[in-house]
Amino acid sequence: MDGQWRSHQPFRSPFDPCPPLPKAYVVPPNQYITYQPEGLKQFSPREALKHGTLWPDLYSPYEARYKRGSQA
């Protein structure tokens, strides 16, 4: 997993009916850039197309959180 994820644990009551699910959220890299500096490293054109951005620093990967057929 990449460093863009933050996990947290909501309050859990002894009377909660279901087993707990892990909780996490993404903080994409745009949250750390106020105004994009010039001269950032660039992907090759082919890689840029695949990533949806020319700049690796702006890339935020996202994979499905739940595997099909499993609980978590």
Partner 1 sequence: MWIYEKKLQYPVRVSKCDPKLAKFLIEQYGGADGELAAALRYLNQRYSIPDKVIGLLTDIGTEEFAHLEMIATMVYKLTKDATPEQMKAAGLDGHFADHDNALSYHNAAGIPWTATYIQAKGDPIADLYEDIAAEEKARATYQWLIDITDDVDIQDALKFLREREIVHSLRFREAVEILKEHHSSKKVF
Q: Would you tell me which residues interact with partner 1 (CB under 8 A)? A: 1, 5-11, 22-28, 31-32, 65, 72
- Shortest CB 17 distance to partner 1, Å: 15
- Shortest CB 45 distance to partner 1, Å: 30
- Shortest CB 1 distance to partner 1, Å: 5
For partner 1, the closer of residues 6 and 50 by Cβ is 6
52-67 CB burial, b ≥16 within 10 A, e <16: ebbeeebbeeeeeeee
Rounded CA separation 15/68 (Å) = 28
* Phi, psi of 13, rounded to the nearest 5 degrees: -90, 145
